[in-house]
Each structure stands twice: as structure tokens, then as C-alpha cells.
Amino acid sequence: MAYIAIDKVSKTYLTVSGESVCALNEVSLDVEKGEFLAIVGPSGCGKSTLLRIVAGLLRPSSGQVILDGREVKGPISGVGFVFQRPVLFNWHKVIGNVLAPVDFAGCRKRDYVDKAKELLALVGLSSFEDKYPSELSGGMQQRVAIARALILGPSILIMDEPFGALDALTRDQLNLELLRIWREGRQTVLFVTHDIQEAVLLGDRVAVFTERPGRVKETISVDLPRPRGVEIKSDNRFGKTVVRIYNLIAYKNIKEYI
């Protein structure tokens, strides 16, 4: 059995007016331990909803998620979640933000201070531990969010468009930083993005979703060597994979990568 087995998961919401809206329709995906799975698809197709179901933050209307042989029935430990925006505590310094999950877990903060400093060094912020979030750029704040997600040593890292609000250069830098962190820690990563190039740069596979209600249209294996740098984007295989995924999502196909 796969490390994460998503088995025919559906999710229906009720609107304020009492109307039913189906966000996900019988989504099935297997994710292997240590795999980097990128997820792309049109806006509103339920990608973020699926992440929350996998993390146990949301219950599916039907179907199930099996994690390491056990059904997910509620919030689970061993998961680090990175959201679209950093969501840092402005009244805490950087190191306090990284240590915040330790408080929530009821652990002794002093036991994790050294690890927090190591993580800040890992994301290139070792000299910023005493700064406040307002003193950091958007990219630096998202680095803090990644360090915070890793503080309790999660085996699974769930990332919901974490770099979507950043400029292209900062985004590329953080993509490479994330690949380095993943290469060292080998967490199982589920990464939602709207950027097809980002998905191909990062992922071992890319799951392509349909429009709402979201279903898995196709799962594409990324046949590119690791470790990867931005130069991989000039590889013909990179361009072909991007175009293939684009054509699965778009209404009109394009014939070549420009």
C-alpha cells in the first residue's frame, strides 16, 4: 500500500442558501513515501480542499485517506502545513514564530531552540532570528513559514501555493531552496500550485485536476534528473512536459513550448 492512499474522496459543501456545491468528485491518488507530488488545475477545482482532507483538517463527504496504513479521521501529527501566505505572528520575533508549533503541541520550547536556529540557517535566515515579521520581505517571511512547518520534524509537508504571491525571481529562489530542503530531509511533499513550470521543476509527478468538481484527469511523471536548478528549464523535456500539462488544463491546445 502507498504511504498516502487517497481513495475515492469526494467533498460537497452547503452554501448559506442551502445549495450543494461539489468541490471534489471521487479523487483517487497514491503518494509514495518521500515523493514530491505537485498538484495543478483550474481555480476552484478543490486542490486546497484535498490538502486539508489529507491533513485531517476537513472530513470528506465520502471516500477515505489512508496514511501509513491508518485511516485519517481527524488532525494528525507529523504534518507540516505551509499556506498561501506566511500567517506569522507580528508580536513574535522570527525565532518565536518558528517555535510557535512547539507551544501548540505542549512541548518544552527550550528543547527546540537549537533546532529552530538550525532551521533558520537552513532557509538562509540565521542572522534574522531577532527580527520581527514586519522587518522582513515577503520571501523572507515565507522562509520563516517553511522553517516553522519543519520544527516538529514532520514526515509530510503540505504546501498550498506557498509562493504564489511572490515575484518571479524570489519564487525561483525559494523553489530551489525548497528542493534543497526536501533533498536533505526527504519529507513526503504535496504541493499545490497554479504555475505549471513550478510544478514540473519541483515534482516527481504532477497530478492534473479537472474543473470543479475536481477529479484527477491525469498524473504525469516528470522525467528530469535531480538535483535540479533553473537551467533545467532549457531542457527540451521540461518544455514538452509543461506543454503536455498545459494542454490537459486549457481549452485550446498549443503545439510547441515558447
The residue-averaged pLDDT of 106-113 equals: 87
In terms of pLDDT, which residue wins out, 162 or 38? Answer: 38
Model pLDDT for residues 162-219, shown as the tens digit of each residue: 888 788 888 888 899 899 989 988 899 999 999 999 999 999 999 999 998 999 999 9
Query: What single-letter amino acid sits at 13?
Result: Y
The pTM of this model reads 0.90
103 DSSP 8-state letter: H
Nine-digit cell string for 185: 530531509
Q: Identify whether the C-beta of residue 162 lies closer than 8 Å to the C-beta of residue 177.
A: no
List the domain boundaries for the chain. 1-78+156-162+186-258, 84-154
Q: What strands lie across the sheet with 188-192, from one edge to the other?
A: 79-82, 156-160, 188-192, 36-40, 205-209, 216-221
Q: Does domain 1-78+156-162+186-258 have CATH number 3.20.20.70?
A: no
